[in-house]
Amino acid sequence: MAANRFSHLFAEADAAFKGAYRNELNQLEGLSKEEIESVTPDTEDMTVYSVLIKVVEQASRENRSMSSLIADIKELGNVAVNIARKVPRFASLL
């Protein structure tokens, strides 16, 4: 693929999906709106979900430790923790 102004975004996305948390990232992105609303019915919490996805993408891309990622998720607050608990690997650590 020829380089263009989006090349860095493709490279970042590729790194995130090949990184340490690719399975968890896929599980989070696979959650339906209903599944998310079952743990957090406030529609504004979809923003937290979006930020959570970005945090996991970044951690995966950077191959950060699980403890660092869990600390970041907790820092996002209860809504992010409740959504992340939908992913079995995160649920056991949160």
The domain containing residue 94 runs over which residues? 41-94
Residue 21 confidence (pLDDT): 83
In a domain, 16, yes or no: no
Q: How many domains, in total, are found in the chain? A: 1
In a domain, 12, yes or no: no
In a domain, 18, yes or no: no
Q: Tell me: the pLDDT tens digits for 73-85?
A: 999 999 999 999 9
To the nearest 10°, report the CA torsion of 12, 15, 21, 26.
70
Please state the pTM of the whole predicted model.
0.73
